[in-house]
Amino acid sequence: MKIVMLGAPGAGKGTQADMIADMFSIPHISTGDIFRENIKNGTELGAKAKGYMDKGELVPDELVCDLVVDRIQQDDCVKGYILDGFPRTIPQANALEEALKAIGQKLDYAIDIEVPDENIISRMSGRRSCTGCNAVYHVVYNPPKTEGICDKCGGKLVLRDDDKPETVKNRLNVYHEQTQPLIDFYKGTGVLHEVDGTQTMEKVFADIKNVIGA
């Protein structure tokens, strides 16, 4: 099962990817999480990515593509994987297609979670992310049992700097310019499915399960 999650920042890609990953016992690969880990660990890659992320811009393709192509060939990916936040540009999608072709694989589904821009700002300002394990909550729609503390690992929950409204507006522009064209790209390869992301998390998950026949 090889799945790409598409959708605006805050559409619910990570939330749904976690649920699918649990159900199929396959890895949830989030490029955003990989960059944030690198920043936390003070790596060279983290230092290169940080400036772009802080401004709500995309990290250059050449810093992302090889990293993902390596990741999907690791042992835990033999049964499949869910890519969340990659690809984000047409060149990234082409790089992925080429890499898959070279290793004799094919994507099964690209699932686009549709949420209008009007809903995104409130989604993002209420998002709380765990600094320990990357789990994601929402102060209203998916609150942790204890405010500010992760249910899963006891880590501290924070509002990401790039989830503040000024940066979110820029991320939405970047999404429309650079990432939305992937919807037509994957329509063209025949793997695109759209789901209504304004529904509850459970209903969105039910629609995704329908798509993937689970």
Query: Concatenated DSSP letters for 90-104?
Result: HHHHHHHHHHHHHTT
- Is residue 127 annotated as part of the catalytic site, yes or no? yes
The active-site residue, picked from 2, 13, 36, 128, is 13
- Is residue 2 annotated as part of the catalytic site, yes or no? no
First to last CA, the chain: 11
Place of tokens 């989830």: 163
Sheet hosting strand 136-138, strand order edge to edge: 136-138, 127-130, 157-158
Choose the one of Zn ion, ligand ADP, none that binds residue 130, judging by a C-beta under 5 to 8 angstroms depending on kind: Zn ion
Nearest approach in angstroms of CB 135 to Zn ion is 4
* Nearest-angstrom CA–CA distance, 202 and 19: 10
Residue 109 near residue 212, CB atoms below 8 Å: yes
The active-site residue, picked from 2, 36, 88, 128, is 88
Contact set for Zn ion, span 154-173 (CB under 5 A): 155
Choose the one of ligand ADP, Zn ion, none that binds residue 86, judging by a C-beta under 5 to 8 angstroms depending on kind: ligand ADP
Site string for Zn ion, 130-159 (x = CB under 5 A): x-xx-x--------------x-xx-x----
**Which run of H or of E encompasses 84?**
strand 81-84
The active-site residue, picked from 160, 164, 169, 187, is 160
Binding site for Zn ion (CB under 5 A): 130, 132-133, 135, 150, 152-153, 155
Catalytic (active-site) positions: 13, 88, 127, 160, 171
